[in-house]
Amino acid sequence: MHVVVLGAGIVGLQSAWHLRLKGHRVTVCDPDVAGGATYAAAGMLAPVSEVQFGQERLYPLLVAARREYPRLVEEVGRATDLPTGFLDNGTLLIGGDRSDLERVRDHARVHTEYGLNIQRLATQEIQQREPFLNARIAGGFAAPDDAQVDPRVLCVALRDALSRELDPTEFPGVGPAVEWVAERVERVTGSADGPYAVHTDGGTEWAADRVVVACGMGCTSLNGILSDLSLDLRPVYGDILRLRPRDPVGADRKPVLSSTIRATILGRQVYLVPRDDGEIVVGATVREDGLDGIHAGGVHELLEDAITVLPALRHFEIADITARARPVSPDDIPYVGLIPKAPGILVSAGYSRHGILLAPLGARLGAALLSGETLSSEDAELLAAMNPGRIEREAAPNHSLTQKGPANGNHHR
Ligand SMILES: Cc1cc2nc3c(=O)[nH]c(=O)nc-3n(C[C@H](O)[C@H](O)[C@H](O)COP(=O)(O)OP(=O)(O)OC[C@H]3O[C@@H](n4cnc5c(N)ncnc54)[C@H](O)[C@@H]3O)c2cc1C
């Protein structure tokens, strides 16, 4: 089967990977591979520290997705010589002063209610684990099951793994190397059940038995069969910095941070994500102001709070500042499912604030659905939670994705 994937962010690349492993021929169209929200993301794989009160439907997805990562990085690592950027380093949630700590404690109560692994730490324990943190920090908690991946590093590895011929004795039944098209898709045409034609802005047309729509915020401006896709998505911008130590980390120089830190400082949130080469990612603002560029005030506050948490950062070099839009759905849950009016087309979008974490789950389940496999009851339940038809849009009550029909988990095509 020939599958064309629209978009090569973390979701499109991982979808292509799973489809290729199932033996399909895959073409990926994107004029700017991994240049969207994925390029900005810190890459926290943080089901524990991310989950908020009232997100009962989201947290099983986050926990299940976290379990997918070891297998993904093992497979991709086996297919390429390149690093995958995965680091199992846990998170510390800390409060700057007593009232900040009270907020962190409230957050920790939510985790405990959800049965997640979170442990109270005495101030001395925090200092022992992270001696460079500000000594006046009021206290905190450890979330040892959280991890991280550097999305830029992982996407380079994924692209390489997708482009190589793979040994079928290592990857039984694997499909051919992926074909890349560096063009923007404008529309998809064809009859309901396919085959489809994918038209790009370069004037080319690609025949496809199946299509995966994984173009993040770009999903809202596709034409042809996809013109009334009407996904309820809004851009939530984030500014984020990458800071580099002036002296490279090496045998004689240890990094100043080992765990990811999520801090509340005078009521504001900041996170610090240490990479294994000593770089520290500081993020992120959450803005709905429509500003594509970098927000000066937001960056100022991030730096101020990050330096309060880790004073040594003052001496780091700013390597990069990026702003991108997160493709956010009303309930922060992605849309993964077949389009009722064109059931050979899979939507995999709206990964909101957790797309790096959720991508391997959405990509694996989406590839299985598109391939007509029967899902386990656990997988069917996870997929049903991401059913695009769950959001009834007041503005367009009869649009294609809200048609009544079986839940995603029952579409074993
Ligand atoms: C500042 C910031 C920090 C974040 N931190 C984290 C984090 O720590 N952990 C986490 O799990 N998530 C995080 N996220 C969220 C995460 O980045 C997103 O959920 C995720 O990247 C979405 O991936 P995607 O592939 O759906 O979209 P994108 O990465 O936006 O990729 C979409 C791709 O589609 C392409 N495209 C668009 N239109 C078309 C078209 N018409 N034709 C062809 N291609 C097209 C684009 O060029 C792009 O490459 C963060 C996001 C931001 C902004």
Question: 218-277, pLDDT tens digit by residue?
Answer: 998 999 999 877 889 999 999 999 999 988 777 677 899 999 999 999 999 999 999 999
Based on the fold, state whether residues 225 and 243 are members of the same structural domain: no
Mutate to test the pocket of ligand 1, among 351, 352, 386 (most ligand atoms within 8 A of CB): 351
- What total of structural domains would you count in the chain? 2
Residue 61 inside a domain? The answer is no
Q: How far apart are CA 373 and CA 391, in angstroms?
A: 25
What's the gap in Å between 224 CA and the centre of ligand 1? 23
Based on the fold, state whether residues 131 and 242 are members of the same structural domain: yes
Residue 85 inside a domain? The answer is no
- ipTM score above 0.85: yes
Residue 266 inside a domain? The answer is yes
Based on the fold, state whether residues 339 and 379 are members of the same structural domain: yes
Residue 17 has pLDDT above 70, yes or no: yes
Give me the pLDDT at residue 253, please: 77
Give me the pLDDT at residue 48, please: 73
Task: Take residue 113 and report the two structure tokens written for it.
Answer: 């209610």
Mean pLDDT of the chain: 91
Domain boundary among 328, 348, 363: 328
Closest CA to 262 of 305, 295, 315, 294: 305
Tell me the torsion sign for CA atoms 155, 157, 163, 169: negative
Based on the fold, state whether residues 215 and 245 are members of the same structural domain: no
Residue 293 inside a domain? The answer is yes
Q: Which range is least confidently modeled, 63-77, 125-139, 174-188, 386-400?
A: 386-400
- The 10s digit of each residue's pLDDT in 179-228 is 999 999 999 999 999 999 999 999 999 999 999 999 999 998 999 999 87
Based on the fold, state whether residues 120 and 160 are members of the same structural domain: no
Based on the fold, state whether residues 344 and 402 are members of the same structural domain: yes
User: How far lies 113's CA from each of 55, 110, 116, 286, in Å?
Assistant: 12, 5, 8, 26
65 lines ligand 1 (CB under 6 A): no
Domain boundary among 328, 357, 392: 328
What's the gap in Å between 98 CA and the centre of ligand 1? 36
Based on the fold, state whether residues 103 and 139 are members of the same structural domain: yes
Strand-pair category, 210-213 with 2-6: parallel
36 lines ligand 1 (CB under 6 A): yes
Atom number in ligand 1 closest to CA 218: 38
Based on the fold, state whether residues 251 and 368 are members of the same structural domain: no
245 lines ligand 1 (CB under 6 A): no
**Beta carbons of 22 and 364 less than 8 angstroms apart:** no
Which bin fits 65, alpha (ψ -120 to 50), beta or left (φ > 0)? Answer: alpha
Residue 49 inside a domain? The answer is no
Q: Which domain holds residue 305?
A: 91-144+235-328
User: How far lies 90's CA from each of 62, 139, 142, 148, 312, in Å?
Assistant: 15, 16, 7, 8, 21
Residue 113 inside a domain? The answer is yes
**Rounded percentage of the chain residues whose pLDDT exceeds 90:** 83
Based on the fold, state whether residues 108 and 227 are members of the same structural domain: no
Give me the pLDDT at residue 55, please: 77
**Beta carbons of 24 and 352 less than 8 angstroms apart:** no
Q: At what angle do helices 377-385 and 59-79 cross, to 10 degrees?
A: 110
Residue 60 inside a domain? The answer is no
Based on the fold, state whether residues 367 and 344 are members of the same structural domain: yes
The residues, ordered by sequence, that sit 6+ positions from 349 with a Cβ below 8 Å of its Cβ are 11, 213, 214, 215, 216, 219, 231, 233, 327, 334, 335
Based on the fold, state whether residues 352 and 389 are members of the same structural domain: yes
Mutate to test the pocket of ligand 1, among 14, 30, 242 (most ligand atoms within 8 A of CB): 30
Q: How far apart are CA 366 and CA 271, in angstroms?
A: 31
The position carrying tokens 């450890």 is 142
326 lines ligand 1 (CB under 6 A): yes
The position carrying tokens 């709206």 is 350
Residue 172 inside a domain? The answer is yes
Length of the chain: 413
**Which CATH number fits the domain that encloses residue 301?**
3.30.9.10
How much is the average pLDDT of 313-339?
96
Domain boundary among 328, 358, 384: 328
**Beta carbons of 337 and 411 less than 8 angstroms apart:** yes
What's the gap in Å between 156 CA and the centre of ligand 1? 15
**Which CATH number fits the domain that encloses residue 356?**
3.50.50.60
304 lines ligand 1 (CB under 6 A): no
